[in-house]
Structure 1
Amino acid sequence: MNQAFDGLGSTRQFYQDVLQRNSIDDRGMRLDAYVHRGVRYNNAFWNGQVMVFGDGDGVVFTDFTASLDVIAHELTHGVTEHTAGLDYHNQSGALNESMSDVMGVLVKQWSLRQTADQADWLIGADIFTPGIGADALRSLKAPGQAYDNDLLGKDPQPAHMRDYVELPDTEEGDNGGVHINSGIPNKAFYVTALEIGGYAWEVAGRIWYESLRASTATTEFQEFADTTFVKAGELYGIDSAEQKAVQTGWDGVGITVTSEPTAMRGSGVPSGTDSVADVVRHLAEMSASIENLRRDLQRQAVGGGRPAPPLA
Structure 2
Amino acid sequence: MLSRTAALAAALAASSLIAGGLADATTTSAATDQLSTDGAGRVIAVEPAAPVAAPHGASAATAAQANVTRLAKQFGLSVGELVLSDVRPVPGGSVARLQQKINGVPVFGAQVVQDLDGSGALLAAVGKTTQRSAGAFPAQDAAARAKAGESAVAAVAAKNSAAKALRADAAQNYWYDASLGTDGAPATAVPAYFVPVHGADPEDKWTVVVGADTNQVLTVWGETRQAANRVVCDANRKVVDLDTATEADIRCGAGHAFGVTRGEGQAAVATTDVNKVYDYFGAAQSFYSKYAGYDLTASIGANYGDGKGKALRGTVRMCEISTGRDGVRRQQCPWANAFWDGEQMAFGEGVTTMDITGHELTHGVTQHTSALAGGYAQAINEGMSDVFGKFIAIKANDPNAAGANRWLLGAGSSLGQVRDMRNPANSGEGPSPDRVNGQYWAGPDGDEHIDAGVVGKTDYLITDGDTFNGQTVRGIGEDKSIALWWKVENLLRSTATFKDLGNALNTACASNVRTKVAGTTADDCAQVAKAVKATQLNQNA
Under TM normalisation by the shorter chain, which class is it?
0.5 to 0.7
SS in 1 for 2:346: strand
Change in Cα spacing, 1:30 to 1:199, as seen in structure 2 (3 Å) is: farther
| Map of 1:157 onto structure 2 | 432
Alignment partner of 2:390 out of 99, 105, 108: 105
Change in Cα spacing, 1:113 to 1:137, as seen in structure 2 (3 Å) is: closer
Superposed, 1:141-152 pairs within 5 Å as: 141-147=422-428
Richer in helix (by share): 1
Shift of 1:26: 3.8
CA distance in structure 1 between the aligned counterparts of 2:339 and 2:495, rounded to whole angstroms? 23
Shift of 1:52: 0.6
Change in Cα spacing, 1:27 to 1:120, as seen in structure 2 (3 Å) is: closer
Alignment partner of 2:487 out of 210, 213, 216: 210
1:8 paired with 2:289, answer no
| Map of 1:181 onto structure 2 | 451
Superposed, 1:215-254 pairs within 5 Å as: 215-237=492-514, 240-254=522-536
Map Cα deviations across residues 20-67 of structure 1 (whole Å, 9 max, x no partner): 101155487520111111232110111111111111xxxxxxx012x1
Shift of 1:84: 0.3
1:22 paired with 2:300, answer no
Shift of 1:145: 1.0
Change in Cα spacing, 1:3 to 1:117, as seen in structure 2 (3 Å) is: closer
Q: Is the 8 A contact 1:116 1:197 kept in 2?
A: no
Percent identity between the aligned chains?
A: 26
| Map of 1:51 onto structure 2 | 345
Map Cα deviations across residues 250-307 of structure 1 (whole Å, 9 max, x no partner): 11112328xxxxxxxxxxxxxxxxxxxxxxxxxxxxxxxxxxxxxxxxxxxxxxxxxx
- AA aligned to 1:68 is M
- AA aligned to 1:64 is V
- AA aligned to 1:22 is D
CA distance in structure 2 between the aligned counterparts of 1:228 and 1:100, rounded to whole angstroms? 16
CA distance in structure 2 between the aligned counterparts of 1:80 and 1:36, rounded to whole angstroms? 26
Shift of 1:199: 4.5
List runs of 5+ in structure 2 lacking aligned partners: 1-273, 302-309, 320-332, 466-473, 515-519
Change in Cα spacing, 1:246 to 1:108, as seen in structure 2 (3 Å) is: same
Q: Is the 8 A contact 2:433 2:451 kept in 1?
A: yes
SS in 2 for 1:216: coil
1:90 paired with 2:363, answer no
Q: TM-score, normalised by structure 1?
A: 0.67
Q: Is the 8 A contact 2:354 2:398 kept in 1?
A: no
Q: TM-score, normalised by structure 2?
A: 0.40
Q: Is the 8 A contact 2:461 2:475 kept in 1?
A: no
SS in 2 for 1:181: helix
SS in 2 for 1:156: coil
CA distance in structure 1 between the aligned counterparts of 2:335 and 2:536, rounded to whole angstroms? 38
Alignment partner of 2:356 out of 65, 70, 84: 70
CA distance in structure 2 between the aligned counterparts of 1:227 and 1:165, rounded to whole angstroms? 21
SS in 2 for 1:33: strand
SS in 2 for 1:144: helix
Richer in strand (by share): 2
CA distance in structure 2 between the aligned counterparts of 1:239 and 1:204, rounded to whole angstroms? 12
Q: Is the 8 A contact 2:314 2:346 kept in 1?
A: yes
Change in Cα spacing, 1:197 to 1:113, as seen in structure 2 (3 Å) is: farther
Map Cα deviations across residues 72-106 of structure 1 (whole Å, 9 max, x no partner): 0000000000000000x331001000011000110
CA distance in structure 1 between the aligned counterparts of 2:529 and 2:433, rounded to whole angstroms? 19
Shift of 1:198: 6.5
**CA RMSD of the aligned region, Å?**
2.7
| Map of 2:169 onto structure 1 | none
SS in 1 for 2:339: strand
